Amino acid sequence: MGTLVCFHAHPDDESIATAGSMAAAAADGHRVVLVVATLGEEGEVPDGFLAEGETLAERREAETRASAQILGASRVEFLGYRDSGMAGTPTNENPDAFCQADLEEAAERLATILREEAADVVTIYDENGVYGHPDHVQVHRVGVRATELAGTPRVLESTMNRDYLRALREEAREAEADLGAVDSPNVDEMQLGVPGDRITTRVDVSAHVDRKRASMRAHASQISEQSFFLAMPDEAFARAFGIEWYIRRGVPVPVEEYEDSIFGK
């Protein structure tokens, strides 16, 4: 058995990007560890949602721990940085913001955990942070350096397959049906993920989509029942989120055939 460490920027990112892989790894007997850079302080929450005296950071930490339990994670750690907020906002300039963190210092915080866990596999994000959020880009930078410091043998960059998402949207339009793709974020406008020929690893997590969706529901402060994640029909959700995509660092692309396991076996 091995150890998988998933490194994310904010609470709820794990539920969207790697929840299926985490649940599958845990179900197969592997150790799963979740590391989150920030507490997501800059998230938005409806008026009256929080209890009296409760901070959003406190709620989001609790939500993350609940999500991790659903997914079978054995350990949850927060690196202690502040949410930077969306690109171009004043909160990017906060000296405590993750995007302002010293690269070597932040990498060593993560590398310490990787050494403690003797991590076999670490997931980070692609170089654009999947969609350009400054904290997601920083996860890539910090994650790459931390895995160098810790000597982690297998590093996977979580991403999205633009070609696959475009095909889903087109299929939905042609069928004049809501397959969950039509109302989802526009792939090209947001520059989500990468083209399919940059991907090395395609993990089918369709057997674990119920846990993935439950993980999303655990983050109720950010993912409401009216969000496209939870409002889409079950079949559409399985089509859109039943595969998780990665770029394995150090592997020339395009590959002849996608790997089909987070552990490469």
| Distance, CA of 192 to CA of 129 (rounded, Å) | 9
Q: Could you tell me the sign of the dihedral formed by the alpha carbons of 18, 22, 28, 32, in that order?
A: positive
Assign domain 3-248 to its CATH superfamily.
LmbE-like (3.40.50.10320)
Length of the chain: 265
Q: Dump strand ranges (E) for 117-256.
A: 121-125, 154-159, 201-204, 243-248
So what's the pLDDT on residue 231?
A: 86
Digit-coded pLDDT (tens) for 67-121: 999 999 999 999 999 999 999 999 999 999 999 999 999 999 999 999 999 999 9
Digit-coded pLDDT (tens) for 141-186: 999 999 999 999 999 999 999 999 888 877 766 665 554 444 556 6
Digit-coded pLDDT (tens) for 208-244: 999 999 999 999 999 999 888 898 888 888 988 999 9
Contact 119, 153 (CB under 8 A): no
So what's the pLDDT on residue 180?
A: 47
State the pTM of this model.
0.93
| Distance, CA of 114 to CA of 127 (rounded, Å) | 20
| Distance, CA of 245 to CA of 94 (rounded, Å) | 32
- Could you tell me the two tokens for 5? 């460490």
Task: Report, as an integer, the average pLDDT of 43-53.
Answer: 92
